[in-house]
């Protein structure tokens, strides 16, 4: 049985890899065409456009992973059915339930790969791509150092920001001011800062004035600054919620709750980090009844068409329910998992009807 499980697993993996390659080439070409529109603008070159396109590949892999698994499994397992290999397995006493279990075991492995890409590769590459795209044109004085935070210069002031959140919010800000002789004259620490009404509102401020007589420190609850860092900073280093890692989203959702702010969009993005990998398993579950059903009599083209249709329906339903959850105040966890549960129910019902 282990040999058959390994054989089924290899079939699913090779099919998924083939489908992933085709879809990725298509999406990469489209991304390059979009990047090529900026060639010649603001110093963009063909080489830079190609580099930005490559940086988008991990995100694309993560996004198309469920569709690739569905199409690949339909083609791979469909070929086994077309050559009567699955019929031989059933004749040897292997039940459909056992085949489903073997296929889902492979799905768990694919799911782990999707999680690793979505958590550790795609967010980093996407953020780096945005930095390359924006820093050279809109934030030339910004220096990004992951270990020490962000550094920016504003004339005789040097600004260090440890945390940059979406919605134009900063955390743990330090501002160092120097005189014409480059001597430190003032050091300001702020727990957080929010950009609103054309200026920055700083909270939890500690200011140290440095002179020949010594250091004087005073504290303020809030203070408004007309300038701190350019709002364009958020275009440079802040990625969309859907492209952030689950760990970062969890921290930001906690931050928003502590401050009584809206959390639904970020909570929804957090839960989709679980549903996207799990949808790979659901796609495998959906592939099995089609393979054992009438699809075994069709060719690869028919299986490919069915796979694309199912993938499109799942994608549209997923987007629709996600948006409905945001508009009508449905709990984000329900909006994220509902499409998955619907397709799980359809898959289980279809498997039960197999003979």
Pairing of strands 142-145, 184-196: unpaired
Tell me the mean pLDDT in the region 159-173.
Answer: 82
Judge whether residue 230 has pLDDT over 80.
no
Q: Which residues contact 318 (CB under 8 A, 6 or more apart)?
A: 275, 339
Contact between 59 and 122 under an 8 Å Cβ cutoff? The reply is: yes
Position 254 pLDDT exceeds 90? no
What is the structure's pLDDT at 138? Answer: 46
pLDDT in tens, 241-250: 777 888 888 8
Q: Decide if 315 contacts 130 (C-beta within 8 A).
A: no
**What percent of the chain is predicted at pLDDT more than 70?**
87
- Domain assignments of the chain as residue spans, ordered by start: 2-138+260-352, 142-231
d(CA 109, CA 332): 27
Residue 233: pLDDT band (50, 70, 90) is low
Closest of 201, 219, 199 to residue 209, by C-alpha: 219
pLDDT band at 188 (very low <50, low <70, confident <90, very high): very high
pLDDT in tens, 101-110: 888 889 899 9
Please report which confidence band the pLDDT of residue 87 belongs to, taking 50, 70 and 90 as the band edges: confident
DSSP 88-117: HHHHTT--HHHHHHHHHHHHHHHHHHHHHI
The CA-based dihedral angle spanning residues 326, 332, 336, 339, taken in that order and rounded to the nearest 10 degrees:
-70
Q: Is the pLDDT of residue 227 over 70?
A: yes
Contacts with 175 (C-beta within 8 Å, 6 or more apart), sequence order: 157, 158, 159, 160, 186, 187, 188, 189, 190, 228
The two three-digit tokens of residue 75, written as one number: 């083609």
**How many percent of the chain have pLDDT more than 90?**
25
**Residue 41 banded pLDDT, cuts 50, 70, 90:** low
Q: How confident is the model at residue 169 (pLDDT cuts 50, 70, 90)?
A: confident
Cα distances (Å, whole numbers) of residue 148 to 142, 145, 172, 202, 252: 13, 5, 11, 21, 19
Per-residue pLDDT tens digits for 291-346: 776 544 555 567 667 777 887 888 888 888 888 888 888 899 998 999 899 989 98
Strands 149-154 and 142-145: antiparallel
The structure tokens listed for 104 are 């889902």
Q: Can you give the pLDDT at residue 142?
A: 47
What does pTM read for this prediction? 0.71
Structure confidence at residue 136 as a pLDDT band (50, 70, 90): very low
Residue 131: pLDDT band (50, 70, 90) is low
pLDDT band, very low/low/confident/very high, at 29 (cuts 50, 70, 90): very high
Taking the C-alpha atoms of residue 197 and residue 191, their distance in angstroms, rounded to an integer, is: 20
Model confidence over 10-20: pLDDT tens digits? 999 999 999 99
Work out the pLDDT band at 28, boundaries 50, 70, 90: very high
Give me the pLDDT at residue 94, please. Answer: 79
Phi, psi at 131, each rounded to 5°: -60, -50
More confident residue, 353 or 143: 353
- Write the CB contacts of 19 (distance below 8 Å, at least 6 apart in sequence): 67, 68, 69, 71, 72, 75, 307
């Amino acid at each position: 049985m282990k040999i058959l499980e390994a054989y089924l697993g290899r079939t699913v993996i090779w099919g998924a890899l083939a489908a992933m390659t085709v879809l990725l080439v298509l999406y990469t070409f489209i991304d390059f065409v979009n990047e090529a529109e900026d060639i010649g603008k603001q110093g963009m070159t063909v080489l830079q456009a190609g580099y930005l396109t490559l940086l988008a590949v991990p995100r694309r892999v993560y996004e198309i992973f469920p569709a690739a698994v569905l199409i690949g499994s339909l083609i791979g397992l469909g070929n086994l059915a077309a050559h009567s290999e699955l019929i031989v397995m059933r004749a040897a006493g292997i039940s459909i339930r056992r085949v489903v279990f073997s296929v889902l075991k492979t799905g768990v492995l694919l799911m782990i790969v999707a999680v690793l890409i979505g958590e550790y590769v795609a967010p980093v590459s996407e953020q780096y791509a945005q930095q390359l795209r924006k820093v050279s044109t809109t934030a030339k004085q910004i220096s990004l150092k992951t270990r020490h935070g962000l550094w920016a210069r504003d004339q005789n002031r040097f600004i260090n920001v440890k945390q940059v959140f979406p919605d134009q919010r900063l955390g743990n800000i330090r501002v160092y001011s120097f005189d014409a002789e480059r001597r430190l004259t003032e050091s300001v620490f702020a727990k957080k800062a929010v950009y609103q009404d054309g200026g920055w509102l700083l909270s939890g401020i500690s200011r140290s004035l440095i002179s020949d007589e010594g250091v004087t420190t005073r504290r303020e609850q809030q203070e408004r600054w007309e300038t701190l860092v350019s709002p364009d900073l958020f275009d440079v280093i802040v990625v969309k919620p859907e492209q952030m890692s689950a760990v970062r989203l969890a921290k930001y959702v906690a931050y928003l709750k502590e401050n009584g702010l809206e959390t639904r969009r970020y909570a929804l993005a957090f839960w989709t980090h679980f549903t996207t990998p799990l949808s790979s398993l659901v796609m495998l579950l959906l592939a099995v009844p089609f393979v054992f059903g009438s699809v075994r009599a069709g060719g690869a083209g028919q299986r490919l068409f069915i796979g694309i249709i199912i993938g499109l329906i799942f994608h549209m339903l997923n987007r629709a329910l996600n948006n409905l959850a945001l508009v009508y105040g449905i709990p984000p966890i329900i909006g994220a998992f509902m499409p998955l549960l619907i397709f799980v129910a359809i898959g289980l019902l279809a498997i039960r009807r197999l003979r």
